[in-house]
A = this chain, B = another copy of it.
Amino acid sequence: MRATRQDLRDWVHVQWVPDPIVRKHYMSLRAPTLQDPTGDVDRLIAELIRITPTREIIPENIKAPLRVLQRISHTLRETSFRLTAVVAQTDSHYELIDVRKGHDESDCLGLAIDVGTTTLSLYLVNITAGEILNRLVIENPQTIHGEDILTRIHFCQGPAGLETMQKLALEGINRGIGRLADSCGVAPHDIYAVSMAGNPTMTHLVLGLNPYHLCREPYVPVVSRPPLFRAKEIGVNAHPDAPVYVFPGLSNYFGGDVVAGILASGMHKSKDISLLVDVGTNAEIVLGNRDWLVVCAGAAGPALESGGAKAGMRATASAIEKIRLDRETLEPSFEVIGNRPPEGICGSGLIELVAELFLSKAIDPKGRFADHLDVPRIRTADGVKGFAVVLAEKGEGPKDIIVDELDIGNLLRAKGAMYTALALVTERLGVAFSDLETFFVAGSFGEHVDPGSAITIGMLPDIPLERFRVLGNSAGIGACLMLVSYGLREEVESIRRKAAYIQLTTDNEFMNRLNAALFIPHTNKELFPTVFHTR
């Protein structure tokens, strides 16, 4: 794995004040004399106070683990009283979590984690520079005991179930940390801060908290707003005293991942109304501005993440993510993630394919292939027509990649559900799509999707393309932001105060309106003028 540095500012368009959760302070202390025999630790703390711009730092506010105190005198005298103090902030005090010899100019490292049901996304961050040094997505090892949340909650009630679930999550995280650290030539022990965002169940499982009551009336989490932990308390393989910020959730259903996503979008600070849709294993929709925020569950996500297709796969290496068809011959040209031979097609690729097939009039609004076409790539197997994106016999890849009418049907149900949810939530709040300042598309899926194609198939509303902003993994980015600007935890609290959540799935209207949205793009052409103008 190669390290690929990225400035956090390239990802998010919100402003933040640099306020690192952990700082390294280089100090050259006066050596003690008979006239000034101040204790080593007291001397270090006095200097820390002197060089720190904020006045909040007073001796009473500075703590240090005994383990650090036990090393200070030796470290100071090894290096002629020059050292680098590693100081973490908490809500209430500062903590001297490490001392390093001399002037340590290495990056001050933090780790951000999006703990997803299906995948764990880890980001190694240079906290001071606000730079992502490298990132990594791995499967959540808990999936061996259940793909979905309910199965896992059930598993936790068996013998050692909770311990097993926590251990699996931590094994995955710690394996990821090892790989990220290796790729950047650093040690896990050099990671001085961790921030973590996940849905309520995943947050419970990583912390070893029993999620039993999350899925039973009255749906109560053990904790919504966890205090700051230390890495060693949880078992995360970072510096043992690294502070661990866990994003607080909104309810038993909407977790810290949603909060972190809102934070990354900045929609909670704008006077205009924006919408954020986050498509993961579950999908969430957030609508609002600096005055109010409404959160609701969107359509089920898996169909969009991997397209719900037989040849579908997640947006990882070897997945076809972009595709164009020649309008006449239907010959495809595509891009594969990691420039490898194609092994499948991810959600965004599938959306583009269906959009291209529709614009080429190869499929009708119901997603059925036209009868009159005589294109070799359109094949029939077991009485079902499909389109061969990749044909192994033609040397285009190691195996055929075929998307058939059943796959397209799955996608249309997913996109229909999403569009219906988007339409319902905006209508219920009296907001027209055209009123939206920004439409954020987030989730691992959202990182790759082409909004134009998503409009074409009727998944996203037909608004000007420049209003769409692809956020990528907004929960992961929000978690990165917390490391570089710990003052943002106040914004997090204001997001929690502002947010209300509504339930759409109990709504009869949903099913009634879904039918119209199952067509490409929709039965009501007026909703998608651009698409019909293009086709």
The answer to whether residues A91 and B61 also contact, given A66-B207, A66-B229, A252-B37 and a CB cut-off of 8 A, is: yes
Residue A40 is within 8 A (CB to CB) of chain B in the complex: yes
Residue A222 is within 8 A (CB to CB) of chain B in the complex: yes
Chain B nearest CB, measured from A67 CB (Å)? 7
Residue A93 is within 8 A (CB to CB) of chain B in the complex: yes
Whether A60 lies near B224 (C-beta < 8 A) is no
Chain B nearest CB, measured from A481 CB (Å)? 19
Residue A208 is within 8 A (CB to CB) of chain B in the complex: yes
Residue A41 is within 8 A (CB to CB) of chain B in the complex: yes
The answer to whether residues A218 and B32 also contact, given A208-B66, A209-B69 and a CB cut-off of 8 A, is: yes
Residue A512 is within 8 A (CB to CB) of chain B in the complex: no
Q: Which residues of B contact A33 (CB under 8 A)?
A: 218
Determine how many copies of this chain the complex contains: 2
Interface string of A5-30 (1 = CB under 8 A from B): 00000000000000000000000000
Residue A219 is within 8 A (CB to CB) of chain B in the complex: yes
- In the docked arrangement, what's the CA distance between A37 and B218, Å? 6
Residue A217 is within 8 A (CB to CB) of chain B in the complex: yes
Contact of A73 among B62, B210, B227 (CB under 8 A): B210
Residue A92 is within 8 A (CB to CB) of chain B in the complex: yes
Whether A38 lies near B224 (C-beta < 8 A) is yes
Q: Which residues of B contact A72 (CB under 8 A)?
A: 222-223
Which partner residue on chain B sits nearest A213 by CB separation? B73
Residue A39 is within 8 A (CB to CB) of chain B in the complex: yes
Whether A221 lies near B39 (C-beta < 8 A) is yes
Q: Which residues of B contact A61 (CB under 8 A)?
A: 91-92
Q: Which residues of B contact A60 (CB under 8 A)?
A: 91-92
Whether A64 lies near B252 (C-beta < 8 A) is no
The answer to whether residues A233 and B66 also contact, given A32-B220, A74-B210, A93-B92 and a CB cut-off of 8 A, is: yes
The answer to whether residues A42 and B224 also contact, given A67-B233, A218-B34, A234-B66 and a CB cut-off of 8 A, is: yes
Residue A506 is within 8 A (CB to CB) of chain B in the complex: no
Residue A137 is within 8 A (CB to CB) of chain B in the complex: no
Within 8 A of B (CB), among A35-68: 36-42, 59-67
Contact of A34 among B38, B219, B226 (CB under 8 A): B219
Q: Which residues of B contact A90 (CB under 8 A)?
A: 63, 93
Residue A225 is within 8 A (CB to CB) of chain B in the complex: yes
- In the docked arrangement, what's the CA distance between A222 and B228, Å? 29
Which partner residue on chain B sits nearest A64 by CB separation? B227
Whether A63 lies near B227 (C-beta < 8 A) is yes
Whether B93 lies near A233 (C-beta < 8 A) is no
Which partner residue on chain B sits nearest A59 by CB separation? B225
Interface string of A239-256 (1 = CB under 8 A from B): 000000000000110000
Q: Which of A33, A225, A227 has the most CB of B within 10 A?
A: A227
Q: Dominant SS at the A interface?
A: loop
Q: How many chain-A residues does the 8 Å CB contact rule pick out?
A: 51
Chain B nearest CB, measured from A130 CB (Å)? 24
Whether B39 lies near A69 (C-beta < 8 A) is no
The answer to whether residues A217 and B91 also contact, given A62-B227, A72-B222, A222-B73 and a CB cut-off of 8 A, is: no
Q: Which residues of B contact A227 (CB under 8 A)?
A: 62-64
Contact of A39 among B40, B67, B225 (CB under 8 A): B225
Whether A70 lies near B37 (C-beta < 8 A) is no
Within 8 A of B (CB), among A195-232: 207-210, 212-213, 217-229
Which partner residue on chain B sits nearest A67 by CB separation? B233
Q: Which residues of B contact A92 (CB under 8 A)?
A: 60-61, 63, 92-93
- In the docked arrangement, what's the CA distance between A219 and B38, Å? 9
Q: Which residues of B contact A40 (CB under 8 A)?
A: 213, 220-223
Which partner residue on chain B sits nearest A36 by CB separation? B218
Chain B nearest CB, measured from A134 CB (Å)? 28
Whether A207 lies near B37 (C-beta < 8 A) is no
Q: Which residues of B contact A234 (CB under 8 A)?
A: 66
Whether B69 lies near A207 (C-beta < 8 A) is yes
Whether A220 lies near B62 (C-beta < 8 A) is no
Which partner residue on chain B sits nearest A43 by CB separation? B220
Q: Which residues of B contact A93 (CB under 8 A)?
A: 90-93
Q: List 7 A-B contacts (CB under 8 A).
A: A38-B224, A39-B220, A39-B224, A41-B226, A42-B225, A66-B234, A73-B209
Name 14 extra pairs, CB < 8 A, besides A37-B251, A73-B222.
A32-B218, A37-B219, A39-B221, A39-B224, A40-B220, A41-B222, A41-B225, A42-B223, A60-B91, A60-B92, A61-B91, A66-B208, A69-B222, A73-B210
When A and B form their complex, which 6 residue pairs have the shortest distance between CB atoms, in order from nearest? Answer: A41-B223, A92-B93, A39-B224, A39-B221, A92-B92, A60-B91
